[in-house]
C-alpha cells in the first residue's frame, strides 16, 4: 500500500513536470520526482521486490545528479547575468578586444550610408554626429545601432571635432562577444534601449516645437 502511494506521488510529479513553463521549476520538480522514485525503489528492499524495481532505482540515481548539476548551472548563469546587468555601463572589459586609433581634428570616422562594420568607444576627444547636431564626449560608446540592424549601414555620420583617441571593435568580433559574453549582451541591450529612448525624446521635442 505504501509503495503504491509513493508510486502515485512520483508519477504525479513527472506529470506535473510537463506543465512547467520555465526551466528552474521543471528541474526542481524533476529532482523531487527522482527522490520519490528512489524512495519507491528502496521500499522494494523492505517488501522483498527490489530486483523488480532495480531498473527504476538505477535510472533515477543517474538522473538525480544530472538534474542537480543542470539546476546549478542555470543558477550560475542567472547570477552572471544579474552581475552583468549591474555593471552594464562598463566597457573596460572590452578594451583588450578593441583596436586603439588616433584621429585628427576634422577627420570623418564614417559617413551616412556607409557599411556599419565597427563599434567605437571614445576614450579622449569630441566626436560630432552632424545630422542631429550631437556631440559625444569621452566614455561614450557609439556606432552600435547600425551593427545590429537588419541592414548594417550607418544612419548618420561621425566626425572628430578635435584630435581624438578612439577604440574600435569589428562587427564580427562584436557578434561573437554578443553571443558568448552576458556582460557585453547587456551592454548592447542598454545602449540600444538608450538610443530608442533618445529617439523618442527627439521626436516629442520636435512635435512640441512645431506646436
CA–CA separation, 178 vs 55, rounded Å?
A: 44
CA–CA separation, 131 vs 112, rounded Å?
A: 9
Other Cβ atoms closer than 10 A to 19: 9
Q: List, in sequence order, every residue forming a beta bridge with 99; answer none if it has no partner.
A: 168
State residue 194's pLDDT score.
65
| pLDDT single digits (tens) 149-185 | 777 888 889 999 999 999 998 888 877 877 776 666 6
- Mean pLDDT, residues 195-209: 58
Q: Contact, 90 vs 137, CB < 8 A?
A: no
- Mean pLDDT, residues 35-50: 89
CA–CA separation, 99 vs 87, rounded Å?
A: 22
Tell me the percentage of the chain whose pLDDT exceeds 70.
Answer: 77
State residue 151's pLDDT score.
78
The mean predicted confidence, pLDDT, of the chain is 81
State residue 149's pLDDT score.
74
Other Cβ atoms closer than 10 A to 196: 11
More confident of the two residues 105 and 90 = 105
| Confidence class for position 60, pLDDT limits 50, 70, 90 | very high
Burial bucket for residue 190 (CB in 10 Å: 0-12, 13-18, 19+): middle
Give Cα 3 distance to the centre of its chain.
Answer: 45
Amino acid at each position: 500500500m505504501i509503495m503504491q502511494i509513493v508510486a502515485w506521488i512520483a508519477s504525479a510529479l513527472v506529470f506535473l513536470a510537463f506543465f512547467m513553463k520555465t526551466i528552474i521549476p521543471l528541474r526542481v520538480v524533476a529532482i523531487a520526482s527522482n527522490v520519490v522514485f528512489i524512495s519507491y525503489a528502496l521500499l522494494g528492499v523492505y517488501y522483498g521486490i527490489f530486483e523488480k524495481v532495480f531498473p527504476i532505482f538505477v535510472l533515477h540515481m543517474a538522473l538525480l545528479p544530472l538534474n542537480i548539476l543542470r539546476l546549478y548551472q542555470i543558477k550560475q548563469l542567472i547570477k552572471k547575468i544579474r552581475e552583468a546587468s549591474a555593471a552594464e555601463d562598463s566597457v573596460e572589459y572590452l578594451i583588450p578586444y578593441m583596436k586603439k586609433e588616433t584621429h585628427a581634428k576634422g577627420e570623418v570616422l564614417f559617413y551616412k550610408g556607409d557599411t556599419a562594420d565597427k563599434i567605437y568607444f571614445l576614450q579622449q576627444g569630441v566626436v560630432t554626429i552632424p545630422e542631429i547636431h550631437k556631440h559625444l564626449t569621452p566614455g561614450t560608446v557609439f556606432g552600435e545601432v547600425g551593427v545590429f540592424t537588419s541592414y548594417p549601414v550607418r544612419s548618420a555620420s561621425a566626425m572628430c571635432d578635435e584630435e581624438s583617441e578612439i577604440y574600435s571593435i569589428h562587427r564580427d568580433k562584436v557578434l561573437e562577444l554578443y553571443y558568448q559574453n552576458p556582460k557585453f549582451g547587456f551592454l548592447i541591450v542598454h545602449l540600444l534601449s538608450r538610443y530608442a529612448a533618445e529617439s523618442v525624446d527627439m521626436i516629442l521635442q520636435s512635435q512640441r516645437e512645431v506646436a
